Structure 1
């Protein structure tokens, strides 16, 4: 007898091959046809255009496994499979469980970082000011 570990099959994220967005297929897609590079569809294989993901605005192709939206869609498919719920229910569950970051949190700079920068820049600024003052008096 063989002992084999069995795990559920998790389907790949549902991505439209026409517009490159997640959550639907190309069969009923009303959107404009897009290349994975993020530009309107154009001839040429492989695509040599500058990459800008249509899903997250990142500097990668829409089909990249490094895309944060792709990673989120992978989690949605796992939740959908494990809990035996619809795609929309799984998406709501994943989105509601992900932490929301406020504007204040994003713009807040840790004071330790600011203090360290000030400590590093202050001697440089002092030296530059002294040099400028000396040059000004030497030219008089």
Structure 2
């Protein structure tokens, strides 16, 4: 809901605290939008479009809040807090290293079996090559490796 007096979201003209109407195009008092020949300036996001624009980031945020609330319920303020956190995650600036690599680092989980239960541990992954880091295959002290079978050479019984 956008007020047609101050052009801010969240209340209507009848609940507006302002006494003077603001222009929908330039956000200045004293004239109407039809009479305005100034540069556009949105009162909500301060960008160069009228406050009535459907492409305004604040308008899109309000629409996302209303859509989320209609599907999931909750108070307007609870839903606003949840949506704003999600929007902030999406528009968060990249770190220099992330920009150079071509994107954020991704985490891959690999199942690890221990005695009687399986756990999922994070495994580092480089987003540029998308290959898992190699593990150290050396046998522990006192252990011997099982013989490896190579189809071309037969069975090799070396202890490494």
Which band: TM-score by shorter chain?
Answer: 0.5 to 0.7
Residue 23 of structure 2 is matched in structure 1 by 35
Q: Which runs of 5+ in 2 are unaligned?
A: 102-160
Equivalent-residue separation in structure 1 for 2:47 and 2:10 (angstroms): 19
Q: 1:75, 1:83 → 2: CA distance?
A: 12
Distance 1:25 1:67 in 2: 18
Q: Which has the higher helix share?
A: 1
Q: Which residue of 2 aligns with 1:130?
A: none
Q: 1:20 corresponds to which residue?
A: 7
Partner of residue 57, structure 1: 46
Shift in alpha-carbon separation, 1:69–1:63, aligned structure 2, 3 A: same
What is the TM-score of this pair, normalised by structure 1? 0.58
Q: Secondary structure at the match of 1:62?
A: coil
Q: Is the 8 A contact 2:22 2:29 kept in 1?
A: yes
Q: How many residues align?
A: 96
Q: Does 1:71 align with 2:57?
A: no
RMSD: 2.5
Q: Which runs of 5+ in 1 are unaligned?
A: 1-13, 113-140
Q: 1:43 Cα shift?
A: 4.1
TM (norm. structure 2) is 0.51
- Between 1:59-68 and 1:32-41, the stretch displaced more is 32-41
Provide the rounded CA distance (Å) in 1 between the counterparts of 2:92 and 2:21. 33
Change (3 A) 1:52 1:89: same
| Higher CA-based Rg | 2
Higher strand share: 2
Deviation of 1:94 (Å):
0.5
Corresponding position of 2:83: 94
